């Protein structure tokens, strides 16, 4: 490629990026930009009211809190280890500064990498735990780091701490003002990254997994890998904040990075708004106000303010939790939106890309036993492209167990499942989704109520991405932007297939029960599957909704998909299916057309 051609392509890509940024710019973005502009000039406006080193320390705390938002806000993971990551970055940077002549900014970066390594290990350890166990596990990690620093004087410097040599920072004299402005810039960049990730595939997948793990797993969301990534990114930012803040303080004090710091950072994130770009920063400002209130109470009581501050922070967190998690920034955004109607997205017309994989599925001799009971006993069948096969039977006959065996959420004791020429034995549910086999769940609660209808479908469309990684999302590469357009087209087309395109901007939780079932089908369809496994789509559907379901299944056949439909409504079965398999006590039996299910 010639230099001129490369320059032309680069210029085109930059113009597209600017145009995309203009289209996505909102009043909220304007408010956020204004907030950071005010923060940048705060030392000049406040004058001598607040010391510059105090402002700089608070700004680094805001950076660490914004990093925690990557974990808590995006993934819904209540990490109580951010203080440990800050301390890790601080002490690693301090030792590198003391024993090398490396630039100050590089020393801080090394501290951040060390913290990210610890965060990766922590994320790997808690990747499959529920929220309560994650909180307990990360709290124990914070105590381990604090106790380790106290027990190893050669590492922490003992009660005196480590004296950190001062060194120029980015070629500038490291004054508190320089530290403050650097912290504000880094916090702004981290907030932008948080915003981009929240809107991108990384954030949507994490949010989906946090809201319903089963439904996310059924769509192939790699929840455990995403959690580890969120922990690593959060720890990196925390370590960077610690590695820079320790150069401001000049002394690395081990008592400054105890469990209280982790608790305060979590309070800041939850009070300000975990998923909001400005939320953690606002939460840190609230912590500053609490510190002032604690000093006033301490002066009245004649005791140290440190006795009141944790209590006030705990009371504030309790107030937020007992009011349903109503944080400051999201609450302000909702209040503004009540007075300003947001124009609805126009109903889009999109053509669903034809499935690239028109493959048949073959199940051979599937067996699943639970103790002495055979839930599935030698089940065999084939699903062909462009057909709908019904799997019927009384409750307890083994229908859902068959779906679980096919989707990989339950291992078979015997038998095989083949998609085309590929054996699926040993593949995880996510790997089977990528291979083209997708399942919807039976429960009507198996959806992501806090996402919009379009975002719900985009979680499925994310499985077709190649350039949806976190780094590409933050940088917004040309390939990523092009893939965004294709993913949205696919998602809208899937919604159109199930009759929900006009509801794209509604919250998924506002849909009726039948609408949620259709939304689950749309999300599965957006993965570009070859085979769809659908579990009781008509449960509780009204007559007009049954007619819509008939149209949907006929459309799916016309698109060339192979569909296995577990269904109790025999009227729907007769209207749309090409073959019927009836289960009885885990075995396929000759179908009795007049049987009552």
Residue 533 sits in a domain whose CATH number is 3.40.50.300
pLDDT of residue 536: 81
With 50 as the cut, is the pLDDT of residue 105 above it? yes
* 225 and 110 fall within a common domain: yes
**How does pLDDT run across 47-104, given as a tens digit for each residue?**
677 888 889 999 999 999 999 998 888 888 889 999 999 999 999 999 999 999 999 9
Last residue of a domain, one of 218, 234, 257: 257
For 466-486, the pLDDT digits (tens) are 888 888 888 878 888 888 888
pLDDT surpassing 60 at residue 23? no
Instruction: State the Cα–Cα distance between residues 518 and 499, nearest whole angstrom.
Output: 8
Distance CA 569, CA 536 (A): 9
Region 110-136 average pLDDT: 92
With beta carbons less than 8 A apart as the criterion, state whether 460 and 468 touch.
no
Q: Does one domain contain both 245 and 388?
A: no
Report the percentage of the chain scoring pLDDT > 90. Answer: 31
**pLDDT for 191-240, tens place per residue?**
988 888 888 888 889 888 888 888 888 888 988 888 999 999 999 999 99
- Indicate the Cα dihedral angle 187, 275, 217, 212, nearest 10°: 160
121-128: average pLDDT: 90
Work out the average pLDDT over 534-558: 84
- 3-state SS string for 277-299: CCHHHHHHHHHHHHHHHHHHHHH
- The secondary structure of residue 497, as a DSSP letter, is H
Total tally of structural domains belonging to the chain: 2
Residue 500 is assigned to a structural domain of this protein: no
The pLDDT of residue 26 is: 60
pLDDT at residue 262 in the model: 92
With cut-offs at 50, 70 and 90, classify the pLDDT of residue 594.
Answer: low
Q: What is the pLDDT of residue 478?
A: 82
Measure the N-to-C terminal CA separation of the chain; round to a whole number of Å: 66
C-alpha angle with apex 391: 388 to 394, nearest 5 degrees?
Answer: 150
Q: What is the structure's pLDDT at 593?
A: 62
Residue 21 lies in a domain: no
Residues 52 and 165 in one domain: yes
Residue 185 falls within a domain, yes or no?
yes
Reported as a pLDDT band with limits 50, 70 and 90, residue 347 is very low
Cβ-contact 446, 214 below 8 angstroms: yes
**Rounded to whole angstroms, how far apart are CA atoms 569 and 547?**
12
Mean pLDDT over 388-394 rounds to: 88
Domain end, chosen from 257, 276, 310, is at 257
The larger pLDDT score, comparing residue 115 to residue 160, is at 115
Q: Point out the domain boundary residue: 209, 241, 257.
A: 257
- In a domain? residue 504: no
Q: Containing domain of residue 548, as a range?
A: 361-436+529-589
For the residues 570-580, what does the mean pLDDT come to? 87
Interacting residues of 182 by C-beta distance below 8 A, sequence separation 6+: 169, 170, 244
- Flag whether pLDDT at 354 surpasses 50: no
Residue 47 lies in a domain: yes
Q: Is residue 101 part of a domain?
A: yes
Are 252 and 370 found together in one domain?
no
Model pLDDT, residue 315: 85
Residues 132 and 251 in one domain: yes
Q: What is the pTM of this model?
A: 0.85
User: Does residue 266 belong to any structural domain of this protein?
Assistant: no
Average pLDDT over residues 121-133: 89
Closest listed residue to residue 71, CA positions, set 283, 219, 267, 275:
275
Q: Return the higher-pLDDT residue of 350 and 428.
A: 428
pLDDT band, residue 348 (cuts 50/70/90): very low
């Amino acid at each position: 490629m010639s230099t001129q051609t490369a320059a032309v392509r680069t210029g085109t890509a930059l113009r597209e990026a600017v145009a995309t940024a203009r289209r996505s710019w909102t009043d909220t973005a304007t408010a956020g930009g204004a907030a950071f502009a005010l923060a940048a000039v705060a030392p000049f406006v406040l004058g001598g009211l607040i010391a510059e080193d105090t402002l700089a320390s608070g700004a680094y705390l805001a950076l660490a809190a914004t990093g925690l938002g990557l974990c808590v806000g995006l993934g819904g993971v209540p990490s109580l280890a951010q203080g440990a990551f800050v301390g890790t970055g601080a002490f690693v940077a301090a030792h590198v500064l003391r024993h090398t002549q490396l630039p100050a900014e590089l020393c801080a970066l090394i501290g951040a990498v060390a913290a990210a390594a610890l965060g990766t290990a922590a994320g790997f350890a808690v990747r499959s735990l529920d929220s309560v166990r994650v909180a307990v596990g990360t709290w124990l990690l914070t105590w381990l780091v604090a106790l380790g620093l106290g027990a190893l004087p050669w590492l922490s410097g003992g009660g005196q701490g480590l004296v950190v040599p001062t060194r120029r920072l980015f070629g500038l004299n490291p004054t508190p003002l320089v530290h403050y402005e650097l912290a504000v810039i880094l916090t702004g960049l981290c907030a932008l990254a948080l915003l981009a990730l929240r809107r991108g595939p990384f954030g949507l997948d994490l949010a989906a997994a946090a809201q319903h793990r089963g439904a996310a797993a059924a769509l192939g969301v790699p929840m455990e890998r995403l959690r580890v990534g969120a922990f690593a990114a959060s720890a990196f930012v925390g370590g960077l904040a610690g590695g820079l803040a320790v150069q401001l303080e000049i002394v690395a004090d081990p008592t400054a990075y105890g469990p209280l710091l982790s608790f305060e950072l979590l309070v800041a994130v939850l009070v300000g708004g975990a998923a909001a770009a400005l939320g953690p920063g606002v939460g840190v400002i609230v912590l500053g106000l609490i510190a002032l209130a604690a000093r006033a109470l301490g002066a009245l009581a004649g005791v140290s303010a440190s006795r009141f501050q944790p209590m006030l922070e705990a009371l504030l967190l309790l107030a937020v939790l007992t009011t349903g998690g109503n944080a400051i920034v999201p609450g302000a955004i909702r209040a503004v939106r009540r007075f300003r109607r947001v124009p609805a997205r126009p109903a889009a017309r999109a053509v669903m890309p034809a499935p690239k994989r028109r493959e048949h599925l073959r199940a051979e001799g599937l067996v699943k036993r639970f103790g002495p009971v055979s839930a599935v006993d030698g089940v065999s069948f084939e699903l062909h492209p462009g057909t709908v096969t019904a799997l019927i039977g009384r409750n307890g006959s083994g229908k859902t167990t068959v779906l679980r065996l096919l989707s990989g959420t339950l291992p078979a004791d015997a038998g095989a499942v083949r998609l085309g020429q590929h054996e699926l034995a040993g593949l995880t549910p996510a790997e089977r989704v990528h291979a083209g086999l997708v399942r919807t769940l039976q429960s009507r609660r198996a959806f992501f109520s806090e996402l919009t209808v379009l975002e719900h479908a985009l979680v499925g469309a994310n499985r077709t991405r190649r350039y949806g990684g976190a780094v590409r999302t933050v940088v917004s590469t040309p390939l990523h932007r092009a893939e965004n357009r294709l993913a949205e087209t696919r998602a809208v087309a899937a919604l159109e297939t199930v009759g929900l395109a006009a509801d794209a901007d509604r919250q998924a939780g506002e849909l009726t029960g039948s609408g949620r079932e259709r939304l689950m089908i749309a999300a599965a369809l957006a993965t570009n599957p070859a085979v769809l496994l659908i579990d009781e789509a008509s449960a509780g559907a009204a007559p007009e909704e049954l007619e819509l379901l008939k149209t949907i299944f006929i459309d799916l056949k016309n698109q060339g998909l192979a569909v296995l439909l577990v269904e109790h409504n025999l009227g729907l079965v007769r209207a749309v299916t090409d073959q019927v398999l009836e289960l009885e006590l885990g075995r396929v039996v000759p179908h009795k057309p007049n049987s009552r299910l």
